Chains A and B, each alone.
Chain A
């Protein structure tokens, strides 16, 4: 299952590196059906859809990877701060506030202030994931800190940093690796949704969401224009979902 997921993901990455681009606007070749020259056809502005789709896959993966890296770093930093009893309530309060707002709504709010743009998009999506991670890591870290082996380390005079890096982190690793895949998956979904709504990537940049929103009005007259980017988005999320599933439930994966 994990192999299938990784293979699909690899194929998508190769596809995006091979064909990715923003596509050239050409009013004389609008909405051409798939042909040898344009394997996925062209969109309403005459841009080659294979370039836009592949470019969209690349943008989605790049945005999701940055979101994952950012929120994992923030989550780990928060987990370290839980070693300080005075800092923990502050971090918990902040993440509770962030968690109270649905992530898409939070991202839309930030985009109403800062406008569309890839750094804003990444920050907006990462913010709620980081809050989520901090909230779920807290009980785990607290439980570990009460363990005798941590007590023993403290007894022989190990510093907070040493205890965190060598004794707490290894226990958080399995959870964090599962979370990294599921954060990746949900940021792909959120990025494409925000771009679909017009509050994600700025206009010329292709994203699977923005490509789909551009071709939605011609959904019935030019179904191929919707089919290929939609299929790419589905393949991307299904491959990530397979990887996440294989990490999370060993018995479900073997079914």
Chain B
């Protein structure tokens, strides 16, 4: 348990350093909001007065303190276009969350099923799974999304081409709108899941307790399911935690191709409209989510295997 508290403390320290770096970069970005809030022919005095009123003229340290306190209290200001950032982000969270969760479930299922199916080395099944994992890891997300849209939405007409229907419109609609994006995401990330979990399962199958079970005449698949499965699980949890960060990044491409209003597409909009302060807030939120997920994963690993003291 002490390790988990140490993890929380070090993550918090890292986040504070990161927030300072983000704030510095945003503050250094050329021009401040006076450039697009005020009319173009505003005089020197008007600009000065605006900067004074907005607190832009204060010393750097104080501006950072103000930034940090308003960030922590959820007052995230407005976008360049003038909408409330906090509300905007809140409306976008469900989309990204749904896709990430569904693709996480898909990746886990793919990893577990394919690992059990290709347990023996040097078999056609094993080679096929290796090839699938290698190939799916080398297709960029935006391309696999385009291919999926082409095949499933345009040719087979199974799913909507784009757009998001919230859960309140019915579970079928919701699932239909996030199925293809999640599949694209899962296709990319399941490769890491598969390779890592299969390796752990094979190692676990070679261990003393699995050999002992086999010597009692337990069937190979039974041994794998009942004996070797649980010791191989912690590594799957840590891969899942690492992947969550990558999924936040991947959502940028996926949500753009599928025209979904999520956090990833919001980040792309922020980058394209050069809204550095919105982008900065999203970066900090992504870092906080990543840190939280990794702490939860350590807790889960600890519950799965209380003896473990070293990180996987």
Contacts and interface: CB of A to CB of B under 8 A. Distances in A.
Interface of A: 93-94, 96-97, 100-106, 108-115, 185, 189, 192-193, 196-199, 209, 212-213, 216, 219-220, 226, 230, 233-234, 237-238, 240-242, 245, 251-252, 255
A105 B262 CA distance: 13
Contact of B271 (A108, A189, A252, A255): A108
A104 B250 contact: yes
A18 B140 CA distance: 25
B158 interface: no
B88 interface: no
Nearest to A94: B17
Given A101-B287, A252-B130, A108 B142 contact: no
B142 A193 contact: yes
Contacts of A196: 140, 142, 253, 256
Contacts, number: 147
B279 A189 contact: no
A240 B286 CA distance: 30
B29 A113 contact: yes
Interface of B: 10-11, 13-15, 17-18, 21-22, 25-26, 28-29, 121-122, 126-127, 130, 134-135, 137-143, 146-147, 150, 154, 245-246, 248-250, 252-253, 256-257, 267-268, 270-276, 278-280, 282-283, 286-287, 290-291
B195 to A, nearest CB: 9
Contacts of A213: 142
A215 B15 CA distance: 40
B274 A240 contact: no
B18 to A, nearest CB: 4
Q: Secondary structure of the B side of the interface?
A: helix
A183 B282 CA distance: 25
B25 to A, nearest CB: 6
A113 B248 contact: no
Contact of A112 (B130, B139, B250, B271): B271
Given A199-B268, A226-B146, A102 B135 contact: no
A197 B134 contact: no
Given A193-B142, A255-B126, A100 B252 contact: no
A106 B280 CA distance: 9
A102 B249 contact: yes
B268 A102 contact: no
Contacts of B146: 212, 216, 219, 226, 230
Nearest to A226: B146
A97 B18 contact: yes
Nearest to A106: B283
B282 A105 contact: yes
B286 to A, nearest CB: 5
Question: Top 9 nearest A-B pairs by Cβ distance?
Answer: A102-B249, A104-B249, A241-B138, A237-B138, A112-B279, A100-B287, A108-B271, A112-B271, A255-B127
